[in-house]
Amino acid sequence: MSRYFRIPESRRSALLSLSELSDACVKELFGALAKVAPGLYGPQLPSQVATDVASAKPEVIESIVDTLLSLYPAMISSNEPVDEFVDSVVDAMSKPGKAHVDASKASDLRTNLRKLLAVPSISLGAKATSVLFENERSLVNARILTDIRPVFELEGVDVGGALVIHTLKLEYFSDSDGAKEFFVSLDSDDIDALILKLERAKQKADRLKNVLSAASIRLLESEEKK
């Protein structure tokens, strides 16, 4: 894999910083990551972890954690054991470039990566996040625009009545096309029907949560819902 593996320039400096961390700092970072409950991790996680690591600058820890999280999807898709994946990363970082690891630090980077990528809670959460987005399209945002549209009389310019029209705007991400938007018009009956379907979906989700709880299976949720 290593001959095809490429590390973005934006991630190389963080990996270089990781190779230079002291053993005590790596141990502290491991402990901070291990305290994180498994879940669907959002962009706030790096800063949360950084507050629990006193032996390095927060911005350095945030960059390292953000980079670690970015490596998980590549590792999962590679289907390689952690050790082999780490070797690929180190090999790529050892090649001359804007930010590369010297031979004297390659072993440290390998050791630190193996340890931090194996944190059980983080690896489980990263796998859950990967599974969540294994779809052709993933919703990014939704918005409903509501306006009044006049209806003019068949002959003439007088307003005979008006309609309340809703436009549902869905922003989604597609693996093939990137960020996209989709618009669909709704009337009041459509809104009521949509609300009923969403409420039913919530009821089914609550029922499934109870089933998971009874089976002692951890529910993996986003940080905002914990």
pLDDT above 50 (res 3): no
73, 100, 132: which is the final residue of a domain? 132
Predicted pLDDT of residue 225: 55
- Same domain (yes/no): 22, 89: yes
Per-residue pLDDT, averaged over 198-209, amounts to: 94
Choice between 225 and 113, residue whose per-residue pLDDT is larger: 113
**pLDDT tens for residues 142-161?**
999 999 999 998 887 899 99
- Same domain (yes/no): 221, 179: yes
Residue 100 belongs to domain spanning: 9-132
- Same domain (yes/no): 151, 112: no
Predicted pLDDT of residue 134: 74
pTM over 0.85: no
88, 109, 132: which is the final residue of a domain? 132
- Same domain (yes/no): 128, 27: yes
The pLDDT mean for the chain works out to 87
Highest-scoring range by mean pLDDT, 128-132, 162-166, 178-182: 162-166
- Same domain (yes/no): 86, 165: no
**pLDDT tens for residues 64-98?**
999 998 888 888 878 888 889 999 999 988 877 66
Per-residue pLDDT, averaged over 10-35, amounts to: 92
- Same domain (yes/no): 105, 210: no
Is residue 4 assigned to a domain? no
Is residue 2 assigned to a domain? no
Per-residue pLDDT, averaged over 35-56, amounts to: 87
Closest alpha carbon to 133 in 171, 101, 174, 93: 174
- Same domain (yes/no): 124, 158: no
